[in-house]
Chains A and B, each alone.
Chain A
Amino acid sequence: MVSLRPRALLARVPNRGLFCAGAVITLLVIALVIVGMVWMPYEPTAMSADRLQGVSVAHPLGTDKMGRDILSRVMYGSRITLLVALGTMAIGAGLGILVGAVTGYYGGIVDEVVMRVTDGLFAFPSVLLALVFVSLFGSSTLNVMWALGIAFVPSFARVSRSEVIRCKHLDYVKNARLMGVRDVRVIFVHILPNMRGVLLSNLMIGFNNAVLSEAGLSFLGIGSQPPFASLGQMISEAQEVFFIVPSAVLGPGLVIVLMVLGFSLMGEGLRSEEGRMA
Chain B
Amino acid sequence: MRYVLKKTATMLATLLVVSLLLFVAFQLISGDPATRILGTGATPESLAVLRSELGLDRPLVTRYLSWLLSFAQGDPGVSYVYNQPVATLLATKIPVTLVLAALSFAFMCAMGIPTGIICAKYAGSPVDRIVMVANQVIMATPPFFSGILLSWVLGMGLHLFTPGGYVSYETSVPRFLGYLVVPCLAIALPRAAQLAKLLRGSILEEAGKNYVRTAYSRGNNTSGVLFGHVLKNAFLPALTFLGMSLGTMLAGSLVVERVFGIPGVSSILLASIGNRDYPVILAIVVLIAAVIVVVNLLVDILYKVLDPRIGEE
Is the beta-carbon distance between A232 and B137 smaller than 8 angstroms? Answer: no
A220 contacts B258, C-beta separation under 8 Å: yes
Q: Mark A203-215, 1 if CB is under 8 A from B, else 0.
A: 0000010001001
Assembled-state Cα–Cα distance A277/B254 (Å): 40
Q: A264 with B140: in contact, given A137-B29, A277-B123, A277-B222 (CB under 8 Å)?
A: yes
Is A256 in the interface zone, CB < 8 Å from B?
yes
Roughly how many angstroms separate A236 CA and B148 CA in the complex, as a whole number?
A: 10
Pick the contact of B22: A122, A132, A219 (CB < 8 A).
Answer: A132
A236 to B261: give the CA distance in the assembly, Å. 12
For A208, give the chain B residue with the smallest CB separation: B140
User: CB < 8 Å: which of A123, A132, A256, A274 contacts B204?
Assistant: A274
Residues of A near B247 (CB, < 8 A) are 123-125, 128
User: Nearest chain A CB to B219's CB is how many angstroms away?
Assistant: 13
Q: Mark A254-278, 1 if CB is under 8 A from B, else 0.
A: 0011101100110010000011111
How many A-B Cβ pairs are below 8 Å? 135
**Please, which residues of chain A bring their CB within 8 A of the CB of B17?**
120
Looking at the assembled complex, report how far the CB atom of A79 sits from the nearest CB atom of chain B, in whole angstroms.
Answer: 18
Chain A stretch 98-131: residues in CB contact (< 8 A) with chain B: 116, 120, 122-128, 131
Q: How many residues of B contact A (CB 8 A)?
A: 61
**Nearest chain A CB to B190 CB, angstrom units:** 8
> Which one, B40-48, B76-84, B167-175, B286-294, is touching chain A?
B286-294
Beta-carbon contacts of B136-152 to A below 8 Å, as 1s and 0s? 11011111110011001
Q: Given A123-B292, A220-B270, are A277 and B121 also a contact pair (CB < 8 Å)?
A: yes
- Closest CB of chain B to A247's CB: distance in Å? 13
Contact between A276 and B255, CB atoms less than 8 A apart = no
Q: Could you tell me the distance between the alpha carbons of A122 and B292 in the complex, rounded to whole angstroms?
A: 11
Contact residues, A229-245 vs B (CB, 8 A): 232, 235-236, 239, 242-243
Q: 1/0 per residue A35-62: CB within 8 Å of B?
A: 0000000000000000000000000000
**Is A123 touching B269 in the complex (CB atoms < 8 A)?**
no
Q: For B244, what are the chain A residues with a Cβ–Cβ distance below 8 Å?
A: 122-123
Q: Which residues from chain A contact B198 at a C-beta distance below 8 Å? A: none
B120 at the interface (CB under 8 A from A): yes
Decide: A277 and B226 in contact? CB cutoff 8 A. Answer: yes
CA distance A127 to B201 in the complex (A): 27
**Does B127 sit within 8 A of A, measured CB to CB?**
no
Taking the complex as formed, is A67 at the interface, i.e. its CB lies under 8 A from any CB of chain B?
no
Whether the Cβ atoms of B255 and A216 lie closer than 8 Å is yes
Given contacts A125-B247, A277-B222, contact A242 B152 (CB under 8 A): yes
Quick check: A136 and B293 within 8 Å, CB to CB? no
Please report whether the interface of chain B is mostly helix, strand, loop or mixed according to DSSP: helix
Q: In the bound complex, do residue A135 and residue B276 qualify as a contact, i.e. CB atoms below 8 Å apart?
A: yes
Task: Please name all residues of chain A whose beta carbon is closer than 8 Å to the beta carbon of B225 when the two chains form the complex.
Answer: 277-278
Query: How close is B175's CB to chain A, nearest CB, in angstroms?
Result: 23
A interface SS class: helix
| B130 adjacent to chain A (CB < 8 Å) | no
Task: Tell me the chain B residues, 228-257 only, with Cβ under 8 Å from chain A.
Answer: 243-244, 247-248, 250-252, 254-255
Q: Please report the C-alpha to C-alpha distance between residue A278 and residue B259 in the assembled complex, in whole angstroms.
A: 45
In the complex, the answer to whether B136 meets A268 with C-beta atoms within 8 Å is: yes
Q: Does B98 contact A (CB under 8 A)?
A: no
Q: Nearest-CB distance from A263 to chain B (Å)?
A: 9
> Contacts A120-B18, A265-B136, A268-B136 given: A277-B258 contact, CB under 8 Å?
no
A260–B166 CA distance with the chains assembled, in angstroms: 32
Decide yes or no: A260 and B139 within 8 Å by CB, A127-B251, A220-B270 being known contacts.
Answer: yes
Q: CB-CB < 8 A to B142: which residues of A?
A: 212, 215-216, 219, 232, 253, 256
Give, as a whole number of angstroms, the nearest-CB distance from B95 to chain A. 19
Query: CB of B296 within 8 A of chain A?
Result: yes
B208 at the binding interface (Cβ < 8 Å): yes
Q: How far is the CA of A124 from the CA of B226 in the complex (A)?
A: 33
B255 pairs with A220, CB closer than 8 A: yes
Assess A275 versus B204: contact at CB under 8 Å? Given A123-B244, A125-B251. Answer: yes
**Contact between A123 and B139 (Cβ–Cβ < 8 Å)?**
no
| Beta-carbon contact of A136 and B144 below 8 Å | no
Which residues of B lie under 8 Å from residue A236 when comparing CB positions?
144, 258
Which chain A residue lies CB-closest to B295? A123
CA A118 – CA B184 in complex, angstroms?
29
A28 and B273 alpha carbons, distance in the complex (Å): 37
Q: Which residues of B contact A120 (CB under 8 A)?
A: 14, 17-18
B281 in the interface (beta carbon within 8 A):
yes
Given the complex of chains A and B, what is the CA–CA distance between A198 and B243 in angstroms?
24
- Residues in A with CB closer than 8 Å to B250 are 125, 128
Given contacts A235-B144, A274-B204, 16 further A-B pairs with CB under 8 A are A120-B14, A120-B17, A123-B244, A135-B272, A139-B273, A208-B140, A215-B145, A216-B252, A216-B255, A235-B145, A249-B145, A264-B136, A265-B136, A274-B205, A276-B204, A277-B204
9 residue pairs from A and B, CB less than 8 Å apart? A122-B244, A125-B248, A132-B285, A208-B140, A220-B258, A236-B144, A264-B140, A277-B222, A277-B226
Residues of A within 8 A of B (CB): 18, 116, 120, 122-128, 131-132, 134-137, 139, 208, 212, 215-216, 219-222, 232, 235-236, 239, 242-243, 249, 253, 256-258, 260-261, 264-265, 268, 274-278
Closest 5 CB pairs of A and B: A260-B140, A125-B251, A127-B251, A261-B140, A253-B145
